[in-house]
Amino acid sequence: MSGLRIRWLGQKRISLQVIFEIMNQNNIIKETYSRHYGPNLILAMPVMLAQAGQMVVVLADNLMVGQLGTVPLAAVSFANTVFVVGMVFGLGMVNGLTPLVGKAYGGGNKQLAASWFKQGLYAFQAAGFVLTLLLWLVGYLMPFMGQPADVVEVALPYYRVLVVSMIPFVLFFTFKQFAEGLGNTRIAMVITVSANLLNIFLNYIWIFGKLGFPAYGVMGAGYATLTARIVMPLLFMWVYFKFDFFRYYRRHIGETKFSWDKSLYLMRLGLPIGGQHFIEVLSFSLGSIMMGWLGAADLAAHQIVLSFASFTFMVAQGIAAATTVKVSQFVGQKRFNALRATVFASLHLVMALMGSGAILFIFGRNFIPGLFIDSGEVIAIAAGLMIVAAAFQLFDGLQVTMLGALRGLEDVNLPFGMLIVAYFVLALPVGYFFAFTLNVGPSGIWYGYLLGLFSISMFLLLRFRWLTRNMHLSESFDK
């Protein structure tokens, strides 16, 4: 009887502690999240800079190839449009490595982190070869995609060079995501920027035939991209075997064994992430197609606003990547208060930065489009889209940050399904309804995107709160 009374008192004590912790949950977060602003931003900055460097390369490619004429520029644009859908799927897939490495590293289990890296080297290279084969086969469909024959003729060999570059690119990203799981985003940034500079230089000498090289034209741009993407994993392998940061993993990775179960789990985690990237890119591609139905000026305005939004989105992507790393490491350390605090700190950062972008969109809506084109009609349409894009910025930043947080928790399947709903059940149909049924015009398509982003961002935020609602209590009981 006394034993029952002791257990009852113990349960009552725990219940009171649970109530007390729930009542003070917000105070805990408010007291701690401020210390995460600096570390999160420092971790995110290299990712932002690497992505900015990649956008500079795309811009340089277009400027250089554009000097060859309309058909070469159209061919490069067509090839990249087809290729990028498969590329973002492959690179998104590799992102599945980061939370597993981060969790093991955060928990002090370096041997497990090395094991996940080894599984990634096997699993992702095999998947990369399969993806490369599929993309190569897609090339045979390009003549049937409604493009002019002369554009397809130039685009196809360039596209095939891009497809081959996927193999070294996936290898580089395997090293990159491993290092990021260990909390180092700087190495990948330095290598990416260096390779981008090499790409621009090789573009110049191979496209136009400088320094004694023949002028390869469009193929010169393809060869430059392939060379840069081969150099990237080679540089990372040199860093891996040279730097003390990887010393433990060099010494002990041989002690880990290949595991089918771990590799399959890695793919089960990575494939939905790749699917998330695929859904987003595909939905915006379909939106661009719908915009083209409205007219050339509408499509041009859409591309201008979308291009500018891509610059601000780099900020959100950097913070999302940092959030994945931080969350996975805190899971390994079982520091659940810190986990929630770092996510809310990331949300504050992304809202402040994307909010600044939104203000710039509103007040610069008539000036910014004029930097891209000298058409009054296009500028007027773009100015209207910029207003919608201002609100779009906030929810886009919120959804990508929460996706990063959920990846750190290895929660990827349900978010993938909800992305499909948000884009293909809400965003695109609603955009079509506004643009063509209600005759709202180009802004209607962006209203659809806004609704889709609002819905997915709210769902992901609620999903995170639901998954972590009792984590801080577990930490308190452990203590």
What pLDDT does 207 receive? 92
What pLDDT does 1 receive? 43
* Residue 22 in this model has a pLDDT that exceeds 80: no
Rounded mean pLDDT, 401-415: 95
Question: Which has the closest alpha carbon to 197: 165, 227, 166?
Answer: 227
The larger pLDDT score, comparing residue 371 to residue 322, is at 322
- CA torsion sign for 457, 459, 462, 464 is negative
* Residue 220 in this model has a pLDDT that exceeds 90: yes
Rounded mean pLDDT, 402-406: 96
* Residue 198 in this model has a pLDDT that exceeds 60: yes
What pLDDT does 73 receive? 82
Confidence of residue 307 (pLDDT cuts 50, 70, 90): confident
What pLDDT does 426 receive? 94
The larger pLDDT score, comparing residue 146 to residue 414, is at 414
What pLDDT does 28 receive? 45
* Residue 109 in this model has a pLDDT that exceeds 90: yes
The larger pLDDT score, comparing residue 183 to residue 307, is at 183
State the Rg of the chain over Cα.
24
The larger pLDDT score, comparing residue 472 to residue 112, is at 112
Burial class from Cβ neighbours inside 10 Å (0-12, 13-18, 19+) for residue 399 reads buried
* Residue 27 in this model has a pLDDT that exceeds 60: no
3-state secondary structure the chain: CHHHHHHHHHHHHHHHHHHHHHHCHHHHHHHHHHHHHHHHHHHHHHHHHHHHHHHHHHHHHHHHHHCCCHHHHHHHHHHHHHHHHHHHHHHHHHCCHHHHHHHHHHCCCHHHHHHHHHHHHHHHHHHHHHHHHHHHHHHHHHHHCCCCHHHHHHHHHHHHHHHHCHHHHHHHHHHHHHHHHCCCCHHHHHHHHHHHHHHHHHHHHHHHCCCCCCCCCHHHHHHHHHHHHHHHHHHHHHHHHHCHHHHHHHHHHHHCCCCHHHHHHHHHHHHHHHHHHHHHHHHHHHHHHHHHHHCHHHHHHHHHHHHHHHHHHHHHHHHHHHHHHHHHHHHHHCCHHHHHHHHHHHHHHHHHHHHHHHHHHHHCCCCHHHHCCCCHHHHHHHHHHHHHHHHHHHHHHHHHHHHHHHHHCCCCHHHHHHHHHHHHHHHHHHHHHHHHHCCCCHHHHHHHHHHHHHHHHHHHHHHHHHHCCCHHHHHHHHC
Write down the domain spans for the chain.
25-478
Rounded mean pLDDT, 25-50: 75
pLDDT, tens digit (0-9, with 9 covering 90-100), for 225-240: 999 999 999 999 999 9
- Highest mean pLDDT among 14-18, 137-141, 299-303 belongs to 137-141
Confidence of residue 472 (pLDDT cuts 50, 70, 90): low
pTM of the model: 0.86
What pLDDT does 471 receive? 67
pLDDT, tens digit (0-9, with 9 covering 90-100), for 9-19: 344 444 444 43
Rounded mean pLDDT, 334-345: 91
Which region among 44-53, 129-138, 328-337 has the lowest average model confidence (pLDDT)? Answer: 44-53
Percent of the chain with pLDDT over 90: 59
Task: Calculate the CA dihedral of residues 349, 352, 355, 361 and round it to 10 degrees.
Answer: -90
* Residue 397 in this model has a pLDDT that exceeds 70: yes
Which region among 29-38, 118-127, 151-160, 189-198 has the lowest average model confidence (pLDDT)? Answer: 29-38
